[in-house]
């Protein structure tokens, strides 16, 4: 039966590729392919679930495909099936099928009908990768797909300012969680000395020996996982993104942010429970996050004027309670809670337009405003203060901007000299020195190398920050990003004797994407010689082919699972040792910002209202 698990990934993947080649005018065919594939997926899942129950709920661990293997490293796709997988898979398939059928009529005659169903099938592929994953690498493939589809669905109405802006906000926070997960994977490689599977985490003897040997590293790894799951499940202080994500179509909000994607943080906590079960600090942090998020989110939900925002914060409240349940070991209760909350929020979001219509009708014809007497007591003032804080969503957005993104902008503005000729000459000389050191078999002394690798990583970080803050020229920002990737490869190559095939894997997708992406930007610049990042240009309206090609280049440059770069990133991280703190900090910070910088270029150049349109632009949410 374990060989059947691959069906749950290959079926949505096949449906996605078929949908790409169907004409956008054939709405019925597009919708029917999505419905048929998800329906068949649900049917196969039910059959396997019954067979699994008859087999006494035995855990299935299946090493499906080895993508790359060397003496010290093995990258393989691993599938896993247990109670948690069964619940998430059954709930996900039923909700996805319901929403897909609903979308067939809801999205009828929408200009982006095909784009929506393509993205929906791609999302379903990523969701199944996550819940059927048997190791961190397989899970991360799905995790990345979900992040991309989130951005595409939030910015679905790409001719409007706010959906695109909010899409960038969400993907920026997602990227922080992604990098925390990457660093946790890096630590797992060095702690366990292999690609650890989730099934092996249940080996108590083996796990206790490792925890006793590396207690501090295990705690750090678990804290990074907690940050990643808190962002994914919109827990404090990262809760504000969920309401911003509701800018997409209601059907995507129902399947993504009401039911499935937002609950994957709870899924990862259950998967990694054996790792942090005996660490009191992690349990206290999770319970604290759950309590504070539930209290504050419920207050925010009670004062929101938007139905979708109310539902978003209500869902955040319930997920906070699930965090507490998982921390206390009540996993079956958490799974039941997940199923109930997912179905409820999906239903609420799908009927929200109708409910809103009924409420407006009631307000117009039979609403009587409540008379409130003014009070001047201390309790009344406290209630009013909390009310205002709830209205302002406790200023979480401002907090994140000031403490998360503003420092990077400040750093970028302080390094403007990096673009001057003398700075470029010095950096080029340093780069050539590193290349010669590798070619001539280490002609530099060891004491110099210890500082050079950190220097290259720091310069790569500065290049990415400059691309992140660039406002005038998209081509300059793109070149900064290319330079940063070359410097990262050089920094890790200086670290120790590295297999050059691993460098080739890392740079193979990056260099091709960099060249093709540069050509795309030059083609756009040739149109009206305006390629600044101060505004949205909306070239996707007239240059759909170039826009799609540039998006693929962006994904390849970021190491999305399209090219060998995805494996190359994991390989290069294995050459960074746990004692090299400065090196991993510089590279991790760079990886946080690079996706935001790259997708910002794509969004500014190709999304938003086209500059030739002269009707007013809505800069505020309705």
pLDDT band for position 620 (cuts 50, 70, 90) = low
Instruction: Using only the alpha carbons of the chain, give its radius of gyration.
Output: 25
Of residues 60 and 441, more confidently modeled: 60
pLDDT tens sequence across 387-420: 888 888 888 888 888 888 888 888 888 888 887 8
Token reading at 19? 């949908």
Asked if 399 contacts 237 with a C-beta cutoff of 8 angstroms, the reply is yes
Token reading at 159? 């001719």
pLDDT band for position 622 (cuts 50, 70, 90) = very low
Three-state SS string across 55-109, please? CCCCCEEEEEEEEEECCCCEEEEEEEECHHHHHHHHHHHHHHHHHHHHHHHHCCC
What's the pLDDT at 554? 92
Report d(CA 321, CA 228) in Å as an integer: 17
pLDDT band for position 369 (cuts 50, 70, 90) = low
3-state helix, strand, coil in the chain (%, to 5): 75, 5, 20
Q: What's the angle, vertex CA 425, arms to CA 423 and CA 430, rounded to 5? A: 95
Report d(CA 16, CA 261) in Å as an integer: 19
Task: Flag the least confident range among 224-228, 343-347, 381-385, 468-472.
Answer: 381-385
Task: Flag the least confident range among 90-94, 348-352, 442-446, 523-527.
Answer: 442-446
Q: What's the angle, vertex CA 572, arms to CA 566 and CA 577, rounded to 5? A: 140
pTM for this predicted structure: 0.90
Report d(CA 313, CA 309) in Å as an integer: 6
Q: Is 57 left (phi over 0), alpha (psi -120 to 50) or beta?
A: left
Q: Is the peptide bond before 90 cis (omega within 30 degrees of 0)?
A: no
CA distances from 342 to 90, 248, 309, 515, 521 (A): 12, 18, 16, 43, 42
- Kindly report the number of other CB atoms within 10 A of residue 523's CB atom: 14
Task: Flag the least confident range among 307-311, 363-367, 538-542.
Answer: 363-367
Is the per-residue pLDDT at 228 higher than 90? yes
Is the per-residue pLDDT at 585 higher than 60? yes
Token reading at 441? 């078999």
Is the per-residue pLDDT at 290 higher than 70? yes
pLDDT tens sequence across 493-508: 876 667 777 788 888 8
Is the per-residue pLDDT at 65 higher than 90? no
What's the pLDDT at 573? 82
Please provide the average confidence, as pLDDT, over all residues in the chain: 86
Report d(CA 8, CA 579) in Å as an integer: 40
Report d(CA 496, CA 136) in Å as an integer: 25
Mean pLDDT of 206-231: 90
User: Exposure of 235 by Cβ count < 10 A (0-12 exposed, 13-18 middle, 19+ buried)?
Assistant: buried
Assign 370 to helix, strand or coil.
coil
What's the pLDDT at 500? 77
Of residues 430 and 151, more confidently modeled: 151
Report d(CA 333, CA 322) in Å as an integer: 8
Is the per-residue pLDDT at 288 higher than 90? yes
Report which of 289, 231, 294, 297 is spatially closest to residue 265, judged by C-alpha positions: 231
What's the pLDDT at 357? 62
Report d(CA 456, CA 492) in Å as an integer: 9
pLDDT tens sequence across 515-529: 999 999 999 998 888
Report which of 86, 187, 181 is spatially closest to residue 142, judged by C-alpha positions: 181
Three-state SS string across 516-584, please? HHHHHHHHHHHHHCCCCCCCCCCHHHCCHHHHHHHHHHHHHHCCCCCCCHHHHHHHHHCCCCCCCHHHH
Please tell me what DSSP assigns to residue 612: T
Placement of tokens 């109405």 in the chain: 157
Own/partner contacts of 577-582, CB < 8 Å, gap of 24 or more, are 577/190, 577/495, 578/187, 578/190, 578/217, 580/453, 580/495, 582/454, 582/457
pLDDT band for position 322 (cuts 50, 70, 90) = very high
Report d(CA 416, CA 425) in Å as an integer: 15
Instruction: Please provide residue 227's backbone torsions phi and psi, each rounded to the nearest 5 degrees.
Output: -65, -45
Report d(CA 126, CA 130) in Å as an integer: 6
Placement of tokens 């504070």 in the chain: 292
pLDDT band for position 439 (cuts 50, 70, 90) = confident
pLDDT tens sequence across 234-276: 898 888 888 888 888 888 888 887 788 899 999 999 999 999 9
Asked if 197 contacts 135 with a C-beta cutoff of 8 angstroms, the reply is yes
Assign 135 to helix, strand or coil.
strand
Report d(CA 395, CA 608) in Å as an integer: 27
Asked if 346 contacts 254 with a C-beta cutoff of 8 angstroms, the reply is yes
| Percent of all residues in the chain with a pLDDT value above 70, rounded to a whole number | 92
Assign 260 to helix, strand or coil.
coil
Instruction: Please provide residue 48's backbone torsions phi and psi, each rounded to the nearest 5 degrees.
Output: -65, -35
Task: Provide the residue ranges of all domains of the chain, joining segments of one domain with +.
Answer: 2-357, 415-606
Report d(CA 586, CA 451) in Å as an integer: 13
HSE-up of 107 (CA within 13 Å, CB side)? 29
What's the pLDDT at 551? 92
Asked if 126 contacts 142 with a C-beta cutoff of 8 angstroms, the reply is yes
The stretches of 372-499 forming alpha helices (DSSP H) are 378-391, 396-400, 406-414, 421-439, 446-469, 474-493
Task: Flag the least confident range among 164-173, 207-216, 442-451.
Answer: 442-451
pLDDT tens sequence across 441-483: 666 666 666 678 888 889 999 999 999 988 888 999 999 999 9
Is the per-residue pLDDT at 358 higher than 80? no
Report d(CA 456, CA 451) in Å as an integer: 9
Task: Flag the least confident range among 304-308, 338-342, 535-539.
Answer: 304-308
User: Exposure of 69 by Cβ count < 10 A (0-12 exposed, 13-18 middle, 19+ buried)?
Assistant: exposed
Is the per-residue pLDDT at 33 higher than 90? yes
pLDDT band for position 318 (cuts 50, 70, 90) = very high
Mean pLDDT of 166-171: 88
Helix (H) / strand (E) containing 323 = helix 307-327
């Amino acid at each position: 039966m374990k060989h059947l698990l691959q069906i749950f990934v290959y079926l949505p993947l096949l449906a996605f590729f078929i949908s790409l080649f169907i004409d956008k005018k054939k709405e019925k065919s597009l919708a029917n392919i999505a419905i048929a594939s998800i329906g068949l997926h649900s049917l196969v899942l039910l059959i396997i679930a019954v067979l699994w129950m008859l087999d006494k709920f035995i855990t299935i661990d299946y090493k499906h495909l080895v993508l790359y293997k060397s003496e010290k490293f093995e990258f393989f796709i691993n599938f896993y099936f247990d109670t948690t997988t069964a619940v998430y898979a059954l709930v996900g398939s039923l909700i996805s099928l319901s929403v897909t059928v609903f979308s067939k009529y809801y999205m009828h005659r929408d200009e982006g009908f095909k784009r929506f169903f393509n993205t929906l099938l791609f999302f379903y592929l990523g969701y199944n990768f996550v819940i059927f994953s048997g190791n961190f690498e397989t899970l991360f493939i799905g995790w990345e797909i979900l992040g991309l589809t989130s951005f595409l669905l939030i910015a679905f109405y790409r001719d409007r300012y706010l959906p695109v802006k909010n899409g960038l906000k969400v993907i920026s926070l997602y990227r922080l969680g992604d990098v925390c997960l990457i660093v946790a994977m890096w630590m797992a490689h060095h702690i366990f000395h292999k690609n650890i599977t989730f099934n092996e985490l249940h080996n108590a003897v083996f796990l206790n020996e490792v925890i006793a040997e590396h207690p501090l590293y295990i705690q750090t790894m678990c804290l990074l996982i907690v940050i990643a799951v808190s962002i994914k499940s919109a827990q404090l202080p990262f809760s504000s993104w969920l309401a911003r994500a509701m800018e997409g179509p209601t059907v995507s909000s129902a399947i993504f942010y009401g039911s499935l994607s937002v609950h994957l943080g709870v899924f990862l906590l259950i998967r990694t429970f054996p790792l942090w079960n005996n660490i009191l600090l992690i349990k206290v942090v999770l319970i604290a996050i759950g309590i504070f998020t539930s209290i504050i989110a419920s207050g925010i939900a009670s004062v929101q004027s938007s139905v979708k925002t109310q539902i978003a914060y209500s869902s955040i409240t319930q997920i906070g309670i699930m965090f507490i349940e998982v921390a206390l070991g009540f996993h079956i209760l958490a799974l039941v809670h997940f199923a109930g909350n997912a179905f409820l929020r999906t239903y609420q979001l799908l009927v929200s337009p109708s409910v809103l219509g009924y409420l407006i009708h009631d307000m117009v014809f039979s609403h009587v405003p409540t008379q409130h007497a003014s009070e001047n007591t201390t309790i009344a003032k406290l209630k009013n203060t909390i009310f205002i804080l709830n209205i302002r969503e406790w200023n979480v957005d401002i907090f994140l901007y000031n403490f998360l993104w503003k420092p990077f902008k400040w750093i970028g503005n302080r390094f403007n000299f990096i673009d001057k000729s003398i700075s470029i000459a010095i950096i080029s000389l340093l780069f050539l020195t590193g290349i010669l050191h590798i070619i001539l078999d280490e002609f530099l002394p060891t004491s110099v190398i210890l500082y050079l690798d950190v220097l290259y990583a720091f310069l790569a970080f500065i290049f990415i920050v400059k691309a992140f803050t660039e406002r005038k020229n998209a081509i300059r920002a793109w070149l900064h990003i290319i330079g940063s990737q070359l410097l990262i490869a050089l920094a890790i190559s200086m670290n120790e004797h590295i297999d050059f095939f691993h460098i080739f894997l890392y740079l193979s997708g990056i260099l091709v994407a960099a060249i093709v992406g540069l050509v795309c930007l030059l083609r756009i610049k040739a149109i009206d010689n305006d390629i600044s990042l101060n505004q949205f240009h909306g070239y996707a309206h007239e240059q759909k082919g170039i826009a799609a090609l540039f998006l693929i280049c962006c994904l390849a440059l970021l190491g999305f699972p399209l090219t060998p770069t995805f494996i190359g990133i994991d390989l290069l991280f294995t050459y960074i040792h746990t004692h090299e703190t400065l090196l991993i900090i510089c590279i991790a910070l760079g990886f946080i910002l690079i996706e935001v910088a790259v997708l910002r270029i794509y969004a500014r150049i190709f999304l938003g209202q086209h500059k030739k349109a002269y009707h007013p632009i809505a800069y505020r949410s309705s």
